[in-house]
């Protein structure tokens, strides 16, 4: 299987065997060793640009059965059901919630439609992969996180950049003190989506803030925001300068630069948007004892505390890449322990992103 990272990679699911067990998320059966036992899932909402990739990932697995495809737009549900050859089109999410065979769902609806679907999945005890961001605002995101935790269901979201060995290595080095005192960090995630009119047709809702909750800065920025928070922890306050660049999607923002102050006093910048023809550098971490830069996919690492780390050549002593999140999700449902994103982690990213948008409007810091 190709483990090369892409924006369209990430999902995680749960498999519970039998009618009674399907309603008890804590009773996960270890089906990992028996590939003949299939995990039954459903796609609930098919609007997201990552939908085709997630469906392709499910096609790769003989141990997954896609029983239903649902979307509030029947034509879209029909199209994606044909794409995946799923068994049935559901005209209502209730049919999925009430089917004891369905063990997990992949929610790829418009972001403003997440909350009722998440509430339904939680009440029905269906494990849920929910495409990022979790919600439109901090308020609805924390409410969904609480519902998920109370239900005791498995959860994850589309933060696939956590499976990059370079990010895993740098998180470990920061934790071990290889950088000394962190003096600065910067992250970038940009592409040319607006310039290339990616969102003109099937994905138009992603450039409609009422449905998506954000524009280019939030859409791409949430990935590297997750990496920064994964490495450095909770955020105290944030702000940003978020703008429309070429105006291909009206007043929807297409780019931005954020400033983040963490509770441990680390400061970082975040750049993201849909109007860059190149984005060679994606992460820099600098400290009194070390420095790291990811440039065109290569990591250059220097540390006074790590033997051989002189920063002159690409650093290749990296951990093995984990499974992509969609596969992690399925494996977790099948009883294998996986490094899943926690519901409150996903909600916290929305809260920080919301603060950056508010900071841009006010021209000031916003406390989290």
Residue 218 CA to residue 356 CA, distance in Å, equals 9
CB atoms within 10 A of CB 28: 20
- Domain match, 187 and 118 both: no
What is the DSSP code (8-state) at residue 156?
E
Residue 106 CA to residue 206 CA, distance in Å, equals 18
What's the CATH code of the domain at 95? 3.40.50.720
- Report the residue count for the chain: 368
DSSP 254-304: -EEEEEEEETTS-EEEEEEES--S---EEEEEEESSEEEEEETTEEEEEET
- Domain match, 139 and 247 both: no
- Which run of H or E residues covers position 346? helix 343-362
Q: If pLDDT is split at 50, 70 and 90, which confidence band does 36 have?
A: confident
Q: Cα torsion at 10, 254, 137, 270 (round to 10°)?
A: 70
- Domain match, 89 and 213 both: no
Residue 147 lies in a domain: yes
Higher pLDDT, 43 or 12: 43
Q: How many domains is the chain built from?
A: 2
Residue 278 lies in a domain: yes
pLDDT at 17 over 60: no
Reported as a single tens digit per residue, the pLDDT across 190-235 is: 999 999 999 999 899 999 999 999 999 999 999 999 999 999 999 9
Reported as a single tens digit per residue, the pLDDT across 308-342 is: 999 999 999 999 999 999 999 999 999 999 999 99
pLDDT at 19 over 70: no
Q: Which of 127, 160, 193 is the last residue of a domain?
A: 160
Given this model, what pLDDT does residue 33 score? Answer: 55
- Domain match, 28 and 136 both: yes
Given this model, what pLDDT does residue 30 score? Answer: 60
Given this model, what pLDDT does residue 350 score? Answer: 98
- Domain match, 230 and 355 both: yes
Residue 69 CA to residue 268 CA, distance in Å, equals 41
> What is the span of the domain harbouring residue 206?
182-287+340-367
Residue 29 CA to residue 216 CA, distance in Å, equals 41
Residue 102 CA to residue 119 CA, distance in Å, equals 16
- Domain match, 152 and 197 both: no
- Domain match, 58 and 203 both: no
CA-only gyration radius of the chain, Å: 20
Residue 165 lies in a domain: no
- Domain match, 197 and 122 both: no
Q: Which of 99, 126, 160 is the last residue of a domain?
A: 160
Q: If pLDDT is split at 50, 70 and 90, which confidence band does 6 have?
A: very low
- Domain match, 121 and 186 both: no
- Domain match, 40 and 91 both: yes
Q: What is the mean pLDDT of the chain?
A: 92
- Domain match, 24 and 151 both: yes
Residue 329 lies in a domain: no
Given this model, what pLDDT does residue 249 score? Answer: 98
Higher pLDDT, 96 or 14: 96
Q: What percent of the chain has pLDDT over 70?
A: 90
Residue 10 lies in a domain: no
What's the CATH code of the domain at 212? 3.30.360.10
- Domain match, 198 and 76 both: no
Residue 46 lies in a domain: yes
Reported as a single tens digit per residue, the pLDDT across 71-85 is: 999 999 999 998 887
Residue 206 lies in a domain: yes
Residue 313 lies in a domain: no
């Amino acid at each position: 299987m190709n483990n090369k990272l892409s924006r369209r990679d990430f999902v995680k699911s749960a498999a519970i065997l039998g009618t009674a067990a399907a309603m008890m998320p804590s009773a996960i059966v270890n089906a990992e060793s028996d590939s003949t036992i299939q995990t039954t899932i459903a796609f609930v909402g098919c609007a997201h640009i990552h939908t085709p990739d997630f469906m392709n990932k499910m096609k790769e697995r003989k141990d997954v059965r896609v029983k239903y495809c649902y979307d509030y737009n029947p034509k879209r549900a029909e199209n994606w059901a044909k794409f995946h050859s799923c068994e049935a089109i559901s005209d209502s999410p209730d049919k999925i919630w009430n089917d004891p065979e369905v063990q997990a769902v992949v929610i790829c609806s418009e972001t403003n439609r997440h909350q009722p679907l998440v509430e339904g999945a939680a009440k029905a005890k269906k494990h849920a992969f929910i495409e990022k961001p979790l919600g439109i605002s901090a308020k609805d995101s924390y409410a969904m996180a609480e519902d998920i935790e109370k239900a005791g269901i498995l959860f994850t979201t589309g933060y696939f950049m956590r499976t990059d060995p370079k990010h895993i290595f740098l998180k470990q080095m920061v934790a071990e003190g290889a950088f000394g005192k962190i003096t600065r960090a910067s992250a970038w995630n940009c592409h040319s989506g607006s310039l290339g009119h990616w969102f003109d047709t099937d994905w138009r809702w992603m450039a409609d803030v009422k449905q998506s909750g954000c524009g280019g800065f939030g859409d791409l920025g949430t990935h590297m925001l997750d990496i920064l928070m994964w490495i450095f922890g909770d955020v105290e306050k944030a702000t940003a300068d978020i703008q429309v660049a070429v105006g291909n999607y009206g007043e929807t923002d297409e780019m931005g630069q954020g400033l983040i102050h963490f509770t441990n006093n680390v400061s970082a910048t975040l750049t993201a948007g849909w109007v860059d023809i190149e984005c060679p550098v994606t992460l820099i971490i600098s400290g009194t004892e070390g420095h790291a830069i990811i440039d065109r996919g290569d990591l250059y690492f220097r540390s006074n505390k790590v033997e051989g780390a002189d920063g002159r050549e690409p650093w290749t002593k990296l951990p093995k890449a984990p499974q992509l999140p969609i596969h992690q999700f399925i494996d977790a449902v099948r009883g294998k322990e996986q490094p899943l994103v926690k519901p409150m982690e996903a909600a916290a990213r929305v809260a920080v992103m919301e603060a950056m948008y508010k900071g841009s409007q006010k021209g000031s810091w916003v406390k989290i």
